[in-house]
C-alpha cells in the first residue's frame, strides 16, 4: 500500500482545514461512533450514519463504497449508489453529511514526489501521532480517535500537553482553580482527589499516552 495515500479535510466538524487522515489499513470504515460501535474514522454529526462508507484497497487501487447510509456519500458532487464500489482518483472530492464534510483524496507516487512527500508525511505524522485537545467539545484527539473528558480531566491533559513536567501544586492550582482566590492562595485539594483524577484519566486515554508519577515532585506525560 502506498504510504503517502491520505484524505485531506477541507471542512468538517471537529477537524481543521488541512487535517490529514492516513489511509493505513486495507479496509477503513468511516462513520459515527456509538456506545456499541467505533468506526476506524469517526465524525460526530447526526447526518453521519454509524457505518457510512468504506475505503478499501484492492489490486493496488483504492475504492470507496457507500454502506447504505441514510444521507448518502458523494464523489465530485455525484451521489454513490449504495454498496457499489467506485475507484478513487487523486483529487477526488468526497462529501457527506449534507455537505458538512468535504475531503479530497490524494494518491501520490513517492518516486515522483520525493521533494514534497517528506514534508507532507512530517505534517501528517504530527497531526496523527501527537495528541490534541478540542476545547469546544472537551475531547482528547489521538490517531483520529476521540476521547470524551470531564472538565477536570480536560484541564489535567491541557496542563500535561503544554509542559514536559508538572509539579503537584501547579496541577492542583490549575485543575481546581475554582478553589483559588486572593484570600485562599492554597486550594484545599486532598491527595485522594488528585489520585482519583489521575486514575480516571489513565483509564480513559489510550495506552501509548502514559502519565508518570515522579514521586515527591509531580507528573509527566510520555508517548510510547
Cα 110 to Cα 1, 92, 102, 123, 141, distances in angstroms: 12, 19, 25, 16, 28
Query: What's the whole-model pTM score?
Result: 0.52
Q: Quote the pLDDT of residue 4.
A: 54
Cell numbers at 150, concatenated: 470531564
Calculate the alpha carbon distances from 192 to 42, 119, 195, 199, 208 in Å.
35, 46, 5, 10, 25
DSSP annotation of 207: T
- Per-residue model confidence (pLDDT) at position 116: 44
pLDDT tens track, the chain, 224 positions: 444 588 988 888 888 888 888 888 899 999 999 888 899 999 988 899 999 999 999 988 899 999 999 999 999 999 999 999 999 998 899 999 998 999 999 875 434 444 444 445 555 555 556 788 888 788 888 876 788 899 999 999 999 998 879 998 889 888 988 876 656 666 678 889 999 999 999 999 888 889 999 988 899 998 87
- State the Cα–Cα distance between residues 218 and 224, nearest whole angstrom: 19
What is the number of alpha carbons within 13 Å of residue 142 lying toward its C-beta? 15
Per the CB < 8 A criterion, the answer to whether 66 and 94 are in contact is no
Predicted local confidence at residue 2, as pLDDT: 44
Q: State the DSSP code for 80.
A: P
Give pLDDT, residue 182. Answer: 56
**DSSP assignment, residue 215?**
T
- Show contacts of 74-82: CB within 8 Å, 24+ apart: 80/53
Supply the pLDDT for residue 150: 92
Residue 115, pLDDT score: 45
| Strand, coil or helix: 156 | helix
Q: Which three cell numbers stand for residue 153?
A: 480531566
H-helix or E-strand spanning residue 162 = helix 151-162
Phi-psi sector, 27: left (phi>0), alpha (psi -120 to 50), beta: beta
Amino acid at each position: 500500500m502506498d504510504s503517502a495515500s491520505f484524505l485531506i479535510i477541507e471542512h468538517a466538524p471537529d477537524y481543521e482545514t488541512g487535517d490529514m487522515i492516513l489511509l493505513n489499513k486495507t479496509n477503513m470504515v468511516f462513520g459515527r461512533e456509538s456506545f456499541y460501535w467505533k468506526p476506524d474514522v469517526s465524525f460526530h454529526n447526526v447526518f453521519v450514519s454509524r457505518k457510512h462508507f468504506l475505503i478499501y484497497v484492492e489490486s493496488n487501487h483504492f475504492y470507496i463504497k457507500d454502506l447504505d447510509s441514510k444521507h448518502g456519500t458523494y464523489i465530485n458532487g455525484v451521489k454513490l449508489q449504495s454498496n457499489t464500489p467506485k475507484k478513487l482518483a487523486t483529487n477526488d472530492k468526497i462529501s457527506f453529511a449534507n455537505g458538512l464534510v468535504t475531503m479530497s483524496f490524494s494518491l501520490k507516487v513517492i518516486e515522483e514526489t520525493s521533494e514534497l512527500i517528506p514534508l507532507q508525511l512530517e505534517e501528517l505524522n504530527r497531526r496523527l501521532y501527537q495528541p490534541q485537545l478540542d476545547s469546544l467539545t472537551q475531547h482528547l484527539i489521538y490517531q483520529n480517535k476521540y476521547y470524551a473528558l470531564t472538565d477536570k480531566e480536560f484541564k489535567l491533559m491541557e496542563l500535561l500537553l503544554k509542559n514536559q513536567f508538572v509539579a503537584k501544586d501547579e496541577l492542583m492550582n490549575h485543575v481546581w482553580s475554582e478553589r483559588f482566590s486572593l484570600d485562599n492562595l492554597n486550594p484545599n485539594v486532598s491527595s485522594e482527589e488528585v489520585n482519583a483524577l489521575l486514575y480516571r484519566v489513565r483509564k480513559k486515554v489510550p495506552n501509548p499516552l502514559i502519565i508518570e508519577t515522579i514521586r515527591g515532585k509531580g507528573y509527566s506525560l510520555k508517548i510510547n
